[in-house]
Amino acid sequence: MNIKNLLLAFLSFALVSFSSLAISQSKIIEKKRSLYQNVYIVEEEGMRCMRFLKKHKNDLSQSCIYLDSPEKLVFTYYKQAMGVTYFVDNPKDILIVGLGGGILANVLGEVYPDAHITSVEIDDVVADMAKKYFAYDDSVENKETHVKDGRVFVKRALKKGLKYDLILLDAFNSDYIPEHMMTEEYLKEVKQLARPEGIIMANTFSSSKLFDHESATYQKVFGELYQITFYQGKTNRVIIVKNGKLPEVKSLLSKANEMRNELNYYGVDAFGLFEAISDEVNWDTEAKVLTDQYSPANLLKGK
């Protein structure tokens, strides 16, 4: 083995060891192997988190809550996702593709108590742990959970003629967004599920190598799009699109003012959130659109 290969092997071993050490130093509440990944519930630094771990991969905290103040949102993308409240008024039907710990389903259920929330999660272990450790409750009349692949659900929902006022795309595995849920064909299917004034939000990474391709794909399907990003560099971004024309950014200031007290309860700065909304085209508009035939996630993997 030459020096270069030896160094790569050492770095690979170090990453796996560090990942395992990080989990071992946390208080593991439960761990379970699902069909898709190892799922851990850990408590550390005043938080409870759901983590995914694959062999030879770093662990990924998928959902977290503060133990002392579970109403406060932990992750940046949770807070960015609350920007959808500036675009919708009292949605009746909400679809969340990618349940995770059920954090967004819980919050939106509180913000819109009259809405019916349908959550789709491919991993039954994740869905069970959301109920057990993150207070997600689908036994109530206005919440339902479907354990199946998100794209399969979307296709069947189209055949049933279902429509939604708000759709959140938040499906992640331990790598990134599943590649069949990033394509032009999939987004066209999701678009058909939205009512004429329906809003669609997608959680993505601003630092992803797929950034230009993702953006070009959303632009082709929806035309204009807004991005919500708090920080530059390696972080999440939220994409906001609509079947029709999006409102001017400046017109959303009144909604930020209206929502400021409610969002503050969840630890979200309403005006900081408003400032993070951008209509800037900051991607390569000539980037190739992702399709079911062209979705090389193995080459352009996120993160």
Distance CA 98, CA 122 (A): 8
Cα atoms found within 13 Å of the Cα of residue 81, Cβ hemisphere only: 25
Output Rg (C-alpha) for the chain, integer angstroms.
19
Distance CA 177, CA 214 (A): 11
Distance CA 300, CA 208 (A): 8
Backbone angles phi and psi of 62, in degrees to 5: -90, -35
Distance CA 76, CA 103 (A): 13
Whether 168 and 266 have beta carbons less than 8 Å apart is answered as: no
Closest CA to 269 of 108, 116, 143, 83: 83
Distance CA 229, CA 223 (A): 20
Give the active site residue among 123, 170, 212, 279. Answer: 170
* Strand 164-169 to 143-146 pairing: unpaired
Told to judge if 89 belongs to the known catalytic residues of this protein, a careful annotator would answer: no
Q: For residue 185, what are its two tokens?
A: 């064909």
Whether 115 and 145 have beta carbons less than 8 Å apart is answered as: no
Active site residues: 170
